[in-house]
Chain A
């Protein structure tokens, strides 16, 4: 049995020994180094570009928009983002020119001899400015996309409400901060282009490069190198850097390597969407929600990119894991003159999770009721219906996760103990010889839709296959990438389990578009649940073919495959490997492909934005215990206890790793991570000043995996990649609220922000 076991990672040895090759480890014959020349204003137009006459330009390859053979845009959702700016500049660090040279010193020197002059226009730099429409930078109203979800009768609901509670919540940008920055090598050929680099989605790049050079499927080859993390940051952006490298390579007719350093990577590539989320909730005195109105605005940055899809996940998750009969959720994404925001683990859900959970805390506080009790009254359970009208028919671990987290963390007892130890807020201002550390405990409860939103998977029809190699072992053919999360390991477990082989017998083909089919992007917590399922189906087909073959060969009708052997009752006929080899020798090959089909029960209406938004949800609950230093306003997360229902854990240790890593990334989101801007330019674009948690900032974590099997996932698995990033920020904010009395409706809870909130509580109390 391979599934459910903590086998060694397939890619572990190479990574541990340093043998794994990342894109920057590759140097090719005649290769040039590329560099991007970017705008130094947020909005305006290019007046002139001058090249110093004194500089020797003969050794420099220069490409601008005129070198683009096809249309000048990045192929994604809308065709609004140019690959290279022609005239108008819409954000700081927008690519204008590309240069390449044989060595990096020459390249840097050349960059200093290019002078671009601009005419500056007044930029739109905030959600408020965009909505106020003082400057119009997109369409007629600066709005990229709108969604509306409606259910029941909201006016009627509010009429029934005994209390109406309003809250406004703000969430910031967040940088993915993969350890390996973006990088790509383009290798030109005769009517051909090969790209190799760091990426999540080889077929996105394949599509973009085909379109750029008018090439066909075979002429473009995209190969994923070992990738040092992605977190969504290598979903859409690698298409841009690949196109840039390819343009230079095409012009130079030599391979070109384009690698960003950290400063450029943070300054120019997409971030998590910041947002402003307003809740207006009607409740009865007993806590039952009877009406919920939510208004959600995300800042998309200067171009559409993936914003509509992020907004869609945001709007669908906006009510959280709660039931309410009367709902109206309005969502808008607006344009600003800042670098486009894009995919980041969670994809719109962590933003709304902070808002819906803080709203729960607020409602509980205003009703004078326990917030755990409030959640229990309103939570979704199996058989309940969501805001989009989806009835939850399977794999609903909501009660289990909530109970587990609360029990393991001893939440109720701790909550009571802390609330008795401090009844009102006291800081250095009021009494400086007091105990200056305060403790609090807080809870969050959340869900995450697994796989693409709506009809995405039905349209995508992800493919994957299995082929039997000459040695009789199976090899998985899939475009899903290993980005540290364990794709290779879990795919080999799934195949090993299905074919009753040892997992070490299973090989995984390199993600190379000339050798693997399009399994869809490695995003949306879909690799295990969706692509893993397709891999499982392909393996089943291989098994069926071999069973049939063996049955005929041995004239034995009732053949079974058990522990790597073909058996009739208790008698072994032959080894899997032997028969597989024989089959390949006889028929030339054994390759089976399968594609994904959505479960027949699932129905989604794109027009009305209603129905089954996701085939299934993963569920989580988290308890954070914090200590606040009332002298310095620093928050220490002492302990995090989280229970997460992810369906069957194919590899429990990798799953726990996803949960811990995602949770720590969310600790950064809640406490530390913030971009500092100056006129549209990010000024803390370095590891020294963009603050993510270190090992010393990591709390003790206890992770409980709840396994509510999902009937359509491989062996019952559903999604785990994104779920964990939803929980920590609101749980920490709830704990800080208990510890200090300060209700933080904006993250990150930096000491400066907490100080302001505490000072406000203190002055309000003195009034």
Chain B
């Protein structure tokens, strides 16, 4: 029979560290609980000792650190959507947050939870990937910084040690003249898990692309950067031919599967089409200017 669950609710980061150091591996962190409760309801949650971090205000808040924003792990989607700093400097994260679940989930679900849950379909993750975010990770042993794009080691696996937690994400601000992009292709308009989710950023230099970063979810075991396609595009002049080449390249670069939500074929080709959406927007934006 199931054990009666235990829950500890610390009030400070140090208490979290102490608790994790004491029973590392046997303690499950619970933030908003919006991923964990789904597992519990499906009888798939094996943990029975929980560390509820919801009351630790040190893990909340968005601060301006000059060229980057620091976002506390417990920041909810509603807070991200409403924050003027995020609206101004990471618009794609606002767009992503608006597509997550619906209002109830946005009020409760956290950025840290999305990151550590490590689903390839997590909708904030392509934004963090495209923006080259870094994660602040802490434990009683100290804090360390890990590039977001090196955080995942495989399907639902991360570099996080048993006694560690994610404290914050540091996300570089969008630069002047840089364009950003977010597009989620879900199974419906709300309460949808992504079939493909993409975020991208690009800086133009006249008609050619000075820099471009493309993050994609739901098309590989982890969120990924389309580095080959980025290499094709950087320095090149944005022409319809190039867009077509990029479309085909990215469709081959991703490694999606067929599952109960979609097919490999759809995911590959629509990844290509979604990228062209962004590249077309750049052209149209340039023409409009």
- Chain A interface (Cβ < 8 Å from any Cβ of B): 105-106, 108-109, 263, 428, 432-433, 436, 630-634, 672, 676, 683-684, 686-689, 691, 693-697, 751-752, 755
Contact A631 B277 (CB under 8 A): yes
The complex places the Cα of A475 from the Cα of B263 at a distance, in Å, of: 57
Chain B 260-278, CB-CB to A under 8 Å as 1, else 0, gives: 1111011001101110110
Contact B2 A108 (CB under 8 A): yes
Taking CB atoms, residues of chain B closer than 8 Å to A684 are: 260
Stretch at the interface among B6-14, B146-154, B182-190: B182-190
- The listed residue (A428, A693, A695, A752) touching B273 by CB distance below 8 A is A428
Contact A432 B280 (CB under 8 A): yes
The complex places the Cα of A352 from the Cα of B266 at a distance, in Å, of: 29
Contact B188 A694 (CB under 8 A): yes
A679 to chain B, nearest CB (A): 14
- The listed residue (A433, A436, A687, A691) touching B240 by CB distance below 8 A is A433
B225 interfacial contact with A, CB 8 Å: no
Contact B260 A755 (CB under 8 A): no
The complex places the Cα of A689 from the Cα of B193 at a distance, in Å, of: 8
B64 interfacial contact with A, CB 8 Å: no
Knowing A428-B247, A432-B243, A631-B270 are in contact, say whether A108-B43 is a contact too (CB < 8 A).
Answer: yes
Interface centre among B185, B262, B274 (most CB of A within 10 A): B185
Identity of the chain A residue whose Cβ is nearest the Cβ of B258 in the assembled complex: A752
B159 interfacial contact with A, CB 8 Å: no
Contact B240 A432 (CB under 8 A): yes
B191 interfacial contact with A, CB 8 Å: yes
Knowing A428-B273, A633-B270, A694-B190 are in contact, say whether A689-B43 is a contact too (CB < 8 A).
Answer: no
- The listed residue (A109, A632, A691) touching B270 by CB distance below 8 A is A632
Chain B 1-27, CB-CB to A under 8 Å as 1, else 0, gives: 110000000000000000000000000
Beyond contacts A751-B266, A752-B262: 16 other A-B pairs, Cβ-Cβ < 8 A, are A109-B2, A428-B273, A432-B280, A433-B283, A631-B270, A631-B276, A631-B277, A632-B274, A683-B260, A688-B193, A689-B187, A693-B188, A694-B189, A697-B188, A751-B262, A752-B265
The complex places the Cα of A676 from the Cα of B261 at a distance, in Å, of: 9
Contact B272 A428 (CB under 8 A): yes
Taking CB atoms, residues of chain B closer than 8 Å to A689 are: 187, 193, 260-261
B244 interfacial contact with A, CB 8 Å: yes
- The listed residue (A686, A691, A755) touching B188 by CB distance below 8 A is A691
Knowing A432-B243, A433-B280 are in contact, say whether A755-B266 is a contact too (CB < 8 A).
Answer: yes
Knowing A684-B260, A689-B260, A691-B187 are in contact, say whether A436-B266 is a contact too (CB < 8 A).
Answer: no
Chain B 175-198, CB-CB to A under 8 Å as 1, else 0, gives: 000000000010111111101100
Contact A109 B1 (CB under 8 A): yes
A630 to chain B, nearest CB (A): 8
The complex places the Cα of A630 from the Cα of B270 at a distance, in Å, of: 10
Identity of the chain A residue whose Cβ is nearest the Cβ of B259 in the assembled complex: A676
The complex places the Cα of A290 from the Cα of B285 at a distance, in Å, of: 57
Contact B276 A428 (CB under 8 A): yes
Taking CB atoms, residues of chain A closer than 8 Å to B243 are: 432-433
11 inter-chain pairs at a CB distance below 8 angstroms, sorted by A residue, are A108-B1, A432-B240, A432-B276, A433-B283, A684-B260, A689-B187, A696-B190, A697-B189, A751-B270, A752-B263, A755-B269
Identity of the chain B residue whose Cβ is nearest the Cβ of A752 in the assembled complex: B266
- The listed residue (B38, B188, B269, B272) touching A672 by CB distance below 8 A is B188
Taking CB atoms, residues of chain A closer than 8 Å to B43 are: 108
Taking CB atoms, residues of chain B closer than 8 Å to A696 are: 102, 188-190
Contact B42 A263 (CB under 8 A): yes
Taking CB atoms, residues of chain A closer than 8 Å to B273 are: 428, 630-632
The complex places the Cα of A630 from the Cα of B185 at a distance, in Å, of: 13
